[in-house]
């Protein structure tokens, strides 16, 4: 069983330092992501202080994985050719020592993405980021998923997440009302965010890219924690200014771009 012990290794000051380091480095993040969210994902990385590269064709993607500082693989709008590219790119990233993040969008009950995900997990993603149903399904259980929504609670995903950590050697970030970051020996939580994050397509997918950016300058668990804190705090700032989903989608990018140490120290929880 997964221990109930929660360790709070990072605080807002630590997150602020990691964000400052990321902005200093400006990591180049290769994104093989779904077609619905490409522009929003690129803009989120730019607002963060990273550099997006949407290199997703087989001929170039494997080469670029050795150039990039980090890679995101998001299976949201997968097709057979893209699936082949994803597996080859993950292999190339592993060979080059490039950290990479797997976002198993809607895994569980859909044959192509399930098959590709089965090939990707043994390639040892640095971080896996998804909702509870996706994580449960990825670990080989029936999570009762509904597309990109989750019908399973975060607590139910802790043991499956731990099993994935044992297979990958990395971290698993499970999104929910309280986000959980799981590693082989601890569980961390982030309690920031707003329900409006579920009303804008691409917010979760952008977090996968932000997580990838942080893997370029932090350990898997610290990267997942910092990325989750930064993005969900930006969401809290944005919701104070937004009048609905449309303005929220813009305000969260502005909030991320302007996010500073005082806000992170005060709001991280």
pLDDT tens-digit series, residues 90-125: 999 999 999 999 999 999 989 999 999 999 999 999
The answer to whether 54 is annotated as binding is yes
Question: What is the pLDDT, as a whole number, of residue 4?
Answer: 39
* Structure token digits, residue 109: 């009950």
The answer to whether 202 is annotated as binding is yes
Domain formed by 12-267, architecture: 3-Layer(aba) Sandwich (3.40)
Percent of the chain topping pLDDT 90: 91
Question: What is the pLDDT, as a whole number, of residue 141?
Answer: 52
Question: What is the pLDDT, as a whole number, of residue 9?
Answer: 64
Mean pLDDT of 79-86: 98
Residue 147 pLDDT exceeds 50: no
Cα–Cα dist 145/148, whole Å: 8
Mean pLDDT of 2-29: 82
The answer to whether 129 is annotated as binding is yes
Question: What is the pLDDT, as a whole number, of residue 100?
Answer: 99
Residue 5 pLDDT exceeds 50: no
Mean pLDDT of 18-28: 98
Mean pLDDT of 79-91: 99
Which residues contact residue 98 at a Cβ distance below 8 angstroms, ignoring those fewer than 6 apart? 65, 66, 68, 69, 70, 71, 92
DSSP for residue 145: -
Q: Which residues of 230-247 are buried (b: 16+ CB within 10 A; e: fewer)?
A: bbbbbbbbbbeebeeeee
Mean pLDDT of 138-157: 67
Task: For the chain, give every domain's residue range.
Answer: 12-267
The answer to whether 196 is annotated as binding is no
Using pLDDT thresholds of 50, 70 and 90, give the confidence band for residue 152. Answer: confident
Lowest mean pLDDT among 13-27, 49-63, 140-154: 140-154
Mean pLDDT of 175-197: 97
Mean pLDDT of 188-209: 98
Cα–Cα dist 185/28, whole Å: 30
């Amino acid at each position: 069983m997964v221990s109930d012990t929660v360790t709070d290794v990072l605080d807002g000051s630590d997150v602020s330092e990691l964000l400052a380091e990321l902005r200093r480095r400006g990591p180049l993040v290769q994104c093989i992501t779904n077609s619905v969210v490409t522009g929003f994902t690129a803009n989120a990385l730019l607002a963060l202080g990273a550099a997006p590269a949407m290199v997703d064709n087989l001929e170039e993607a494997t080469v670029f994985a050795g150039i990039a500082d980090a890679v995101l693989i998001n299976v949201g709008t997968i097709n057979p050719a893209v699936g082949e590219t994803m597996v080859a790119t993950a292999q190339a990233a592993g060979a080059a020592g490039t950290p990479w993040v797997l976002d198993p969008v809607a895994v569980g009950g859909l044959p192509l993405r399930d098959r590709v995900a089965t090939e990707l997990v043994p390639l040892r993603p640095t971080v896996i980021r998804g909702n509870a149903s996706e994580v449960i399904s990825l670990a080989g259980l029936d999570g009762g998923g509904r597309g990109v929504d989750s019908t399973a609670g975060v607590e139910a995903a802790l043991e499956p997440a731990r099993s994935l950590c044992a297979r990958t050697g990395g971290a698993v970030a499970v999104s929910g009302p309280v986000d959980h970051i799981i590693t082989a020996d601890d569980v961390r939580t982030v309690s920031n965010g707003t329900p409006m994050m579920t009303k804008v397509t691409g917010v979760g997918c952008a977090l996968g890219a932000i997580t990838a950016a942080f893997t370029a300058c932090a350990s898997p668990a610290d990267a997942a924690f910092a990325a989750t804190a930064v993005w969900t705090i930006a969401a809290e700032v944005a919701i104070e200014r937004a009048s609905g989903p449309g303005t929220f989608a813009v305000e969260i990018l502005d909030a991320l771009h302007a996010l500073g140490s005082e806000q992170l120290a005060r709001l991280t929880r």
